[in-house]
Amino acid sequence: MQLSYAEETAAEQGITRDAYLADRAARIPMGQFTEIDDLTGLAQFLVSDSARLITGQAIAPDGGVMTSS
């Protein structure tokens, strides 16, 4: 069985997967990981006429990780 990155890294650090994920989430300014549902509104906006003037932009829906690094 293939371990996930979180499971493998947690095992290497001698901690549980949940502890590893909690530590990683604590490093995100908004305190949580991006979920699929967080992206749907952005995707709907970008394909709408309201976004017709948006070109060549890098939009990082990452809870503030890019602005804090």
- The domain total for the chain is 1
Residue-number span of the structural domain to which 11 is assigned: 5-68
CA distances from 31 to 3, 52, 55, 64 (A): 24, 32, 29, 9
pTM: 0.67
- Confidence tier at 69 by pLDDT (50, 70, 90): low
68 pLDDT higher than 80: no
Answer for the pair 31, 64: CB distance below 8 angstroms, yes or no: no
Q: Within 10 A of 27 (CB to CB), how many other CB atoms are there?
A: 11
Phi/psi of residue 57, nearest 5 degrees: -105, 145
